[in-house]
Copies of this chain bind each other. A is one copy, B any other.
């Protein structure tokens, strides 16, 4: 027996509770889960004053530690924001339940009927550094998909997150499902993260949400599968013969509509045949929106004020009003460049050519491949998932925006009538 730290003991206790809750949730009816979500929305709304009082402790600590005013604003909870969080729970209750869906039934020569049924994953660990609403959103998506969750939030929002999780757990228990469906790691002990990542018998998958150091630590240490979201270095390729007005609208939207997010455009590739007319045109449109252009030598020769790009620029996720621009001589060069330098998140082509459009879908090795529309559509809401637990840049299980279905896996089901194997 190895010695147990307080953090390990806490995770072991939470994990045992979550495992038992996950069994109950896997067997729960859609109606029971929806009732629990609606009850959680009620207790959350009814606990608004208490949550705001806990939030005040986080805000005070944030001010004392000199957090930026923008960060403090993101942290702040008021009645309106808590109302919105409760409303989001009601919206998850209204989504279709993925659990129990049966797909692909076939009858085999032996007589057995074989298919698959969607089942919850089990216990989902979520380690996040985001705003307190993630506590409620993630817990709701896990519950709806029949999974228990163990939540570890960032220390800046510790009191707020704990109060939200506790209010939800009360509502869920009141509706007759286990309070342990939503387990919150109620300590700021930094060892708790390590204890979670080592607990591969208690936690079936870890979803980290936060900055790169968090994601990299989780990938390195976790003994269970991880579904992670790393960089979003998104490309648009303007193909030979593309419509210049459409390409300009897509490029400016993808770059400027919200430059700080992972599906914003970072690198523009332009076919050499279109470059002499298109590159100066799009550069003017971007300049009017204060975008700095870092170009290949041919781009710099066409755009006054463009900064020569370095090798690093082709791999960079700026999350800012900066765009790398490169002229390519062929479709194949564009695809190879995207596969070599992109982050396999979201890439788009602007083209009139059907054959190249379909080749782009097939050959670009990214989670999301777009034809003739902005990269900014790469999002659970825009794709119609209803809600999003995260965006995967991994290659197994799920790629891109993950909704309720991605919190399940199909298991095999077989109906027989006494068949044995000969």
Chain A positions within 8 Å of B, measured between CB atoms, are 23, 26-27, 100, 106, 108, 110, 112, 114, 117, 119, 121-122, 204-205, 219-220, 223, 225, 227, 243, 246, 249-250, 253-254, 257, 336, 339, 359, 361-363, 365-374, 376-378, 382-384, 394-401, 409-421
**A114/B384 contact (C-beta < 8 A), A250-B418, A367-B412, A421-B376 known:** yes
Task: Determine the chain B residues whose CB is within 8 A of the CB of A371 once the complex forms.
Answer: 413-416
The answer on a CB contact under 8 Å between A398 and B409 is yes
A-B contact pairs, 7 of them (CB 8 A): A27-B363, A225-B225, A225-B396, A253-B420, A371-B414, A377-B414, A396-B397
List of 4 A-B pairs having minimum Cβ-Cβ separation, nearest first: A373-B416, A253-B420, A376-B421, A246-B418
Task: Determine the chain B residues whose CB is within 8 A of the CB of A372 once the complex forms.
Answer: 415-419
Task: Determine the chain B residues whose CB is within 8 A of the CB of A23 once the complex forms.
Answer: 336, 339, 363, 365
The answer on a CB contact under 8 Å between B411 and A399 is yes
Task: Determine the chain B residues whose CB is within 8 A of the CB of A363 once the complex forms.
Answer: 23, 26-27
* Majority DSSP secondary structure for residues of A touching B: mixed
**A411/B108 contact (C-beta < 8 A), A419-B373, A419-B377 known:** no
The CA of A421 and the CA of B112, in the complex, are separated in Å by: 49
The CA of A85 and the CA of B421, in the complex, are separated in Å by: 24
Task: Determine the chain B residues whose CB is within 8 A of the CB of A397 once the complex forms.
Answer: 225, 396-397, 409
Write the nearest CB–CB distance from A219 to chain B, whole angstroms.
Answer: 8
Which of these, B249, B369, B412, contacts A401 with CB under 8 Å?
Answer: B412
Which of these, B339, B369, B394, B420, contacts A412 with CB under 8 Å?
Answer: B369
Write the nearest CB–CB distance from A141 to chain B, whole angstroms.
Answer: 16
